[in-house]
Structures are given as C-alpha cells and as structure tokens.
Amino acid sequence: MGKIYNDEESSLDFVKGKKIVVLGYGNQGRAWALNLRDSGLNVIVGLERKGNSWILAEKDGFEPKYINDAVKDADILIFLLPDMVQREVWEKSIMKNMKEGADMVFAHGFNIHYKLILPPKTSDVYMIAPKGPGNKVREYFEKGGGVPALIAVHQDISGNALNKALAIAKGIGATRPGVIETTFKEETETDLFGEQVILVGGISELMKNSFATLVSKGYQPEVAYFETINEMKMIVDLIYEKGLSGMLRAVSDTAKYGGITVGKDIIDEEVRKRMEKALTRIQNGEFANEWIEEYQRGMKTVKSNLNEVDNSLEEKIGKRLRDLILKGSPK
C-alpha cells in the first residue's frame, strides 16, 4: 500500500518565498493559482496569449505575463496546460528561458513518462495529481476541505523534491484529506486505463449499447434512457458514498440478484482480455504515439465521434428528459 501523507506531515516552508509560476489558467490552472495564493504563496500566472484566460486571471487579481517572460526568474514552474500543448510550449517558450535549477511540477505524468518533455538534469521534477476537476479543487478548498491527490518524484536533485511536492499539495488543499505517494509511470498508466476502459470509454459504450438494445426491441426511447443512462448517476452516487457493497445493499433484492448474476456474464473473460490489451497499448507507448498523431492531424477522430454522439437518438432523448428532470428538481 502506498504511503499516505496528511496536513501534519507537510509544510509550506519548503516553497515559501519562492516565485511560483502557474502555466495555464484553465480548469486546474485557475484553481491551483487561487488556492496557492490564498495559502500565502507567491504566484504568477503565465500564459501564451492575451485571451479569455488572461482576462479572467486579471479579474481574479493576477497580473499575468507571457510564458517566456514569466519563467525567466521563476523558482517553480507548474505545468497546467493541456497535455498535448505542453511539449510545444516547452520547446518554444520555456526551455531556453527558464532559470537553471527551477523546479518542474506536473498534474499528470504523460509528458514526462512518455519523454515528450526531457527536463534539465539540474531541475527537481515532481507531480501533484488531484483526483478531481479544478472546480472541485477550488470549491473544496474554499469550504475548508480538499480534493485528495497523488504525488510522485521523477527527479530529486535538491534532496527536497518530496517535501516541496507535499508543500504544493498542502497549498492547494490536497493534504487536508491526504495524498498518496506513487510514480509518474503508475499515475500515467492507471489514469489513461481508467479513462479508456471505464470512466469515459467503457461506461459510455455500455450505456449506448444497452439503450440501443432496448430501443431496437420496440421499447420507448424515453423509458430506455431512464433505465440505461439517467439512473447511472444514482448508482455511481451510491458507490461514491457507500462503496460497491453499500450500493448492493441499498438497491432492491431483485436488482442485487440480477446484477450479480448477469453482470458477470456481460463483463466476461473476453472483455477482461480486451482490457488487458488496452493496458498493454498504454504501457508500451502505442496509445501515446497514436494520440500524438491524432492531435497533430487536428483531432479528426475526436471531432467526428463527438458529432456522431451529438446527433444520436440517446442524446436527443436525453436533452429532452434532462429538461424535465431540471424542472422537477428542488430549487
């Protein structure tokens, strides 16, 4: 089991007085910048261009700088740009402008693990990966809590990389619930696997295909949507609150028996083998290379599939039913 660090085992002293540059002001960037500033740390926002993010950062009280200027005398660089933008910005704006020995901090291990970015031998390189979206990182922090995170050290030149990682984690509120020590490899590969096999890919395909099965046999699409897509939230909420066993105890006995007996037949050994194949493609870099090529081609596959989902029957029915659900929800 991985070591779990809490608030008492972390100290902001390791990064206090350091110039911290948050690169990017999107979902995570804004949350990190605000939380770190509220924790009393010296934060600068670095952006590639003047646009909506620049305007929002100014509105939040920052004085953003262009990245090539922001990194020149920075002690800590926090990469919160989209994964596939980081290498381009690194090569164009950071690599030749950053101060020697500046720390490089990541929220996801993709660019380091797959060697898209090769950090200088003089830099500490570490990661804090919140297990939740940026808006929750900010919301929980403001309420006195925090989103748990994973931390990892890739390169420890100073001998204090772990302590600095814990300090940044404390600054964004992650040590309040606790942070789990891992590696860049483990975080990257498990994160990609989860996205592909269950959280985004697997669950979407299960819902779409179960919906299509009912509709193809003559059931009303509205009824099919409720049973195969809408109620997923209630089940996931139960698992989030009570775990798998708590969810099973909360549903009806009929649902328990049907789920236990039929579920294993749907997700069988052949599905497990395909899951293992997906994991192998992540481990050997095949998926990363494919995704890089897709991104460089303008994400044609992503755009085509999004368009297909937008125009699907389940999405049209869902929009109509979501309007009904919102009308009936308590104000």
Q: Is 108 a catalytic residue?
A: yes
Q: How many residues does the chain have?
A: 331
Please check if 63 is assigned to a binding site: no
If one counts every other C-beta atom within 10 angstroms of the C-beta of residue 220, the result is: 11
Whether 270 has a binding-site annotation, put simply, is no
The answer to whether 25 is a known ligand-binding residue is: yes
134 labeled part of a ligand binding site: yes
Threshold 0.75, pTM exceeds: yes
Judged against a pLDDT cut of 70, whether residue 208 lies above it is answered with yes
Q: Each residue of 176-200: pLDDT tens digit?
A: 999 999 999 999 999 999 999 999 9
What would the mean pLDDT of 256-262 be, rounded to a whole number?
95
Q: Are 31 and 137 within 8 A, CB to CB?
A: yes
Question: pLDDT tens digits for 93-118?
Answer: 999 999 999 999 999 999 999 999 99
As annotated, the residues of the chain forming the CATH 3.40.50.720 domain(s) are 4-182
Torsion of CA 297, 298, 303, 305, to 10 degrees: 20
Q: What is the mean pLDDT of the chain?
A: 95
Region 273-293: mean pLDDT is 96
Catalytic annotation, pick one of 108, 113, 164, 176 = 108
Measure the CA–CA gap between 282 and 271, rounded to whole angstroms.
17
Architecture of domain 4-182: 3-Layer(aba) Sandwich (3.40)
Q: Annotation-wise, does 26 bind a ligand?
A: yes
pLDDT of residue 234: 93
Q: What is the pLDDT of residue 329?
A: 66
State residue 58's pLDDT score: 97
pLDDT 10s digits, 262-276: 999 999 999 999 999
